[in-house]
Structure 1
Amino acid sequence: MICIKYNKYVLSIGIKLCFLRQHFTSLKRILLGGKYNILIIKDDGVGDAVAWIPYAFLLRNHFIRHHYHITVLASSKTKRFFQQLQYADKVISLPAYKNKMQWICVRLIFWLCYQFDIILSATCTPNDILLPYRVPNTLFLYRWHYKRIAKLCHCNNIVDVTGLNIYERYDTILHYLKIKETINHSLLADSLNLPDYKIEDKSFFAVCATASDSLRCWEEEKFAELINLLISTTGKMAVLVGMKSEYAKNERIKSICKHHSKIINLAGKTSIMELFSVIQKAEFLVSNETGTAHIGGILGILTFIICGGGDYGSFVPYPPDIEGKTVFSIFPANHECFRCGWSKSELYSKRNISLHFCYYSRSSVYDNRNPL
């Protein structure tokens, strides 16, 4: 009981210190000048982080370094990635916590160490919206399962994005900030400052046969057959990409293929920025519905995504200015699992996407772009 009272006392002191810090920082800027501090909360997965890249650089171009200091609150998985992008002035991640008290204490320490003028939550898990140190210029996005939390907060800048795809959610942030610039994918690669990853054969196509969730993966045998067809018809090398843990799967696919000598397995051999470089140099990319597919999408590389439909409308299909032009999402004819959140595994329809459907979908686009 004493411990509980002590914790509540400490928390109340911490909250008051947060308020004092906020007012002191504002007064200091008025008197002495200085940069405005912006916090972008982006603590979700790698795929979401990749899709966020074009918007991140739009924000950086809008909020120039001379006047604005951008801090990204990332997850432990994406912290290094955001640091390599170099669009933010600082990237931080919070330590893990075991209970609610630790969660609150970690955040209080964070807000005592940092003070922000603008807070933008680019995730849909607004865990911090109930805490009492929100600044006036705050935007939080939430989906239906956070509706109860959102109702407790009397704030006009807590936006329900249920039913919107990830790009429309990010557009909501641009609209809130009154940013009218559009994304130029042709200039994005230059902004990334990609390393020059050397591959012996310069004429190749890239394949990502892996994903974090097995339900997002097309069968290995079908990938092997598709790779055989593509090598036979194009004469190009096949480069299999992925993480270190996915090396064995790529090797199994390679062992099934007939053209072993024309397949390179780069799983685990590239950093994420080197992976960007590999995909940028590829003639085209064939991928499962995963973060690697989004790399092809934002780089403007001809990309074919083999989709199951469990998250239909969230990431794929892409916006109209990309879908059907540089990115082609291939869906099964069976729509029973569409938007099921991969919960209806017995209806999982990605297996119903035939090899020949994928091959001819790719051929009809690629051959028209590259006539003999």
Structure 2
Amino acid sequence: MIIKIIHLSKRPIVAKTLLIIRLDSIGDYILVHNFFSFVRNHPVYREYKITLCGNIIWKDLAEFLNENVFDSFIWLNRKKFKWNFFYKYRLLNQIHKAGYEIVVETTFTREILFGDTIVKSSKAKERIGSTGSPDSHLKWKRKIFSDDYYTKLITQSDENLFEFYRNKEFFEKLLQTKIDLNKPTLSFNKAEVGPPTENDYIIIVPGAQEKARRWSEKNFAELIKHLLSVYPFDIVIAGSVSEKTIINTILKEVDSERVHNLSGKTTLPQFGKIISLAKILVSNETSAVHFAAAIGTKFICISNGQRFGRFVPYPHQIKLICAYLYPDYIEKNLNNHLLLAEQFRYESKLEINEISVEKVFETVSEMIGTIN
């Protein structure tokens, strides 16, 4: 109904205008952002005015990293877009009135209520997207409801590719050229923040969007106490404002001046800079791991194996100093990557707290041994 109302208003198509859509999470943005510069510098799009429609949760990060790539930004609040009729109408109407010549929805796991809806409302001359993730409960819905919103769907492999390579596949087909990029990269040299302590430190990020992917607060507290008792490093705990409760629970168990709480106190570029200055990151499977990988900070990821192959682990060819720790079933089958990638492609019901404090501590100790 909203789109029908919006389409009653006629407007011309503006030549050489391109809208790129990306609405998923912070880690997803890190794994795709390097490819945007290849669009900017491509002969076809070099003279285009390019706008990014992005998820507002990573606004400060995108404007810091991609300020020279995009001419303008449109920021979308997913919660408001889903539940607030007037907010949704204003944003869709803004995009329609802009009269983009080309719209590209770059997400592999396309969402009918978000990216696909924006594509439809744009009424752009060319509307390009991915054939999408093969998960059965989404594929049939897209085929019935939203595939025909597009003038072109780029065919992508059903193979369970690591997300960085999935993005590379899409952009190579979009631009019809090989892209010489083998890993995500980030630089926060210009981020305005100093180190949180004068001492060397290990940074710990105990949050995650889903409870099943969060190692317990008790476990993190015990790990921190062990690290403080054995090693001279300070501990920095970081996370978003929404993770303050988790972090405060940990801090109640750990009473030390060598523990520094940065939860909710940094922008994303500052968060990246603080990770870049750390000796080691210890984190659940969350965006912090992707920050560390793209920066080059050593990391340990505690994971229940969800979306194995797509987001965990980083492939060996990316050549990182890192370790992944999983529940027993995955640890016993790590030599059978294809089995795990099939079983845990979409979800994992394994108990993350099977991973012991002792195992994480041993892994951190081994990694400390690699520090120069």
**What is the match of residue 142 of structure 2?**
149
**What is the match of residue 181 of structure 2?**
182
Q: Which of 220, 225, 229 is the aligned partner of 2:222?
A: 225
Q: Flag the 1:228–1:53 CA change in 2: closer, same or farther, 3 A.
A: farther
Q: Residue 51 in 1 paired to residue 20 in 2?
A: no
Give the conservation status (yes or no) of the 8 Å contact 1:279–1:285.
yes
CA RMSD of aligned residues (A): 3.4
Q: Flag the 1:97–1:180 CA change in 2: closer, same or farther, 3 A.
A: closer
Give the conservation status (yes or no) of the 8 Å contact 1:142–1:161.
no
Deviations 1:233-256 (A, max 9, x none): 331100000112323322321332
Q: Flag the 1:123–1:91 CA change in 2: closer, same or farther, 3 A.
A: farther
Give the conservation status (yes or no) of the 8 Å contact 1:122–1:141.
no
Q: Residue 327 in 1 paired to residue 332 in 2?
A: no
Query: Which of 107-116 and 303-312 deviates more?
Result: 107-116
**What is the match of residue 78 of structure 1?**
58
- CA distance in 1 between partners of 2:89 and 2:133 (Å): 22
Q: Flag the 1:107–1:302 CA change in 2: closer, same or farther, 3 A.
A: same
**What is the match of residue 92 of structure 1?**
74
**Structure 2 unpaired stretches of 5+:** 334-339
Give the conservation status (yes or no) of the 8 Å contact 2:127–2:151.
no
Q: TM-score, normalized by length of structure 1?
A: 0.78
Shift of 1:70: 2.4
- CA distance in 2 between partners of 1:232 and 1:312 (Å): 34
Q: TM-score, normalized by length of structure 2?
A: 0.78
Q: Which of 230, 240, 243 is the aligned partner of 1:243?
A: 240
Give the conservation status (yes or no) of the 8 Å contact 1:124–1:141.
no
Q: Which of 104, 116, 137 is the aligned partner of 1:119?
A: 104
Question: 5 Å matches for 1:160-309?
Answer: 160=156, 162=158, 163-176=160-173, 177=175, 178-183=177-182, 188-189=186-187, 193-257=190-254, 260-309=256-305
Q: Flag the 1:225–1:298 CA change in 2: closer, same or farther, 3 A.
A: same
Q: Flag the 1:148–1:228 CA change in 2: closer, same or farther, 3 A.
A: same
Q: Flag the 1:101–1:318 CA change in 2: closer, same or farther, 3 A.
A: same
Which residue type is aligned with residue 75 of structure 2? Answer: S
- CA distance in 2 between partners of 1:197 and 1:330 (Å): 31
Which residue type is aligned with residue 93 of structure 1? Answer: W
Give the conservation status (yes or no) of the 8 Å contact 1:296–1:303.
yes
Shift of 1:349: 2.2
- CA distance in 2 between partners of 1:171 and 1:184 (Å): 10
Q: Which of 19, 22, 25 is the aligned partner of 1:39?
A: 19
Q: Flag the 1:69–1:314 CA change in 2: closer, same or farther, 3 A.
A: same
Which residue type is aligned with residue 266 of structure 2? Answer: T
**What is the match of residue 360 of structure 2?**
358
**Structure 1 unpaired stretches of 5+:** 27-35
Q: Flag the 1:123–1:42 CA change in 2: closer, same or farther, 3 A.
A: farther
Identical positions, percent: 20
Larger-gyration structure (1/2): 1
